[in-house]
Each structure stands twice: as structure tokens, then as C-alpha cells.
Structure 1
Amino acid sequence: MKARNVALLMTAALVVYLFLLADRAFALFASGTGVGIALGIGVLLLPILGVWIVVVTWRNGLQIQRLSRRLDSEGELPDVSDLPRRPSGRVDRDAADAWFDQRRAEVQADQQNWRAWYKLAYAYDIAGDRRRARETMKKALELEAADH
């Protein structure tokens, strides 16, 4: 199953859960008691927050996918298929570090190149540093948006 289909399935399950949670909030409102209404407000905040997180996550995913397609059409999409792998399938740590150093040098050489930032984000990802990968991808998205 493609990752996109899994994401759609998980999002659908989350939407059902958020709907049921909102329904519980309205049931608490209907109790008419001060405590029930206060709890209802608290419970209703959860689906509102959940919807916001889902929207932001999907928006970011679609923007990253757009950059990926653009790089692919330009023949510049990062390819790590030739890097050695561990039995788990992850890229070997030394190989990931060497590939990362090359991508970091590309960014240092051209700080305004969104393509270099995208590749650096990918390098962080294969090195297992997801937090920095997200931050770096945000920078790539900002630079690409400013490039238009």
C-alpha cells in the first residue's frame, strides 16, 4: 500500500475519532451543569486542535510533494539507492554522514538555493534526525516560495 493511501486511511480514522469526540463535547454541553459545560468546552478544544493539526500536516505534505515532483522533473531528485544499507534497510551511518556532508557543503555554497536545502533536509532524514529534517524542509519551502 502506498504511503499516501496509508495517510488517507489514517486521516479518515482520525476524522471519525474527532467527530465522536466532538459529539461527546456536545453531550456534555447538554447536561446543563456548570461542570458539564466546562468539560464540554475542554473536550471540544481537542477536535478543533486535531483538525488544525491535520490541515497543517496535509498542507506541508502536499507542498513537499510538489517540490519533490519539481526536482524529479528537473532530474535533481536525491538518489541514495547506491548507498550501503544495514540489514534493517536504513542507510549505513558512515555513508549517511558522508552524503550529509556533501549536502551541507552545497547549502553553504549557495544559501538561497531551495534545491540544496531540500537535499539537506533529505540528508537529515536518512541520518535519522527528523526534527532537523522538518526545519530544513521548511527553509526549502520558504526559499522556493520566494523564488516565484
Structure 2
Amino acid sequence: MIICVAVVGLQNNPLYIQSFTDGDDALKLHYIVHCSLDVIDERVNNPKKIGSTLNETYLGLLYPSENYKVYGYLTNTKVKFILVTTDEDLKDADVRSFFRQFHAAYVDAVSNPFHVPGKRITSRAFAERVSTIVRSFGTSTTI
């Protein structure tokens, strides 16, 4: 189950963070997103150490915590996408598919002529599209 998605800009500034929990975990999820930025920087700056290729945008599982698993994705423009889930049996192919759909929604949102690059994404259409992607992802991974 997806509990949070985030888009983080070039200077590690949050462009969009949305949590999908009923509880009061927003601050905790912001902290998890910020902690994952260190792992992303480590993987991007030391690709030989991790074994990933330079052309790979999907960073995979960044780190598991006690309750969550955090996945990362890096665009060609160095914008970072972060996915926080509670799912234990998540397949890599499903996460890659989610990031592809999320990336397409992001591209559509920033292609808006009224969007200022590097600023927060405030588009209601983007938020609704992300919610739709999250809902479809949640139903497609459960049996």
C-alpha cells in the first residue's frame, strides 16, 4: 500500500508531497522523504559502489525501515521521485510501472505554461492524477 509520494527538486527542495494515510503521519513522512535524499545522493555520486548504471533512472529500494519501504527514481533533469510503501511483497516491475506513470503525470504538470520551473506543484489536476495512479496501483498489486 502506498502511503506517500514526493517530488523533490534540484536543490532538494520539496516540489510536491502527498500522503495517503488517515493518521497524523505527515511530519513523519516528510522526515522519511528527507532521509531518503541522502541515500539518493549516495547512489548517484557513487554508482560503482552500488553497481547501478549511469543511465538507470530507477534507483530501486533505497532503504527499508521498520514499517516502511522507500523507493527512488531520478529523472534526467535530476528531479527525484520518492515512493513510501508499507507493502512487503512489492515487485520491482510494479514499482517501475508506478514511477513511469508518475513521471508522465509530472511531465504533463510542468509542461503547463503557467507553471514556474523549480516551484511547488500546486495543480489540482496533477494531484487528482497522482491519486488515481496510487489507487490503481494499490488495487493492481493486491490479490
Q: State TM-score, norm by structure 1.
A: 0.27
Q: Which has the larger radius of gyration?
A: 1
More strand by share: 2
Larger RCO: Structure 1 or Structure 2 (Cα < 8 Å, ≥ 6 residues apart)? 2
Q: State TM-score, norm by structure 2.
A: 0.28
More helix by share: 1
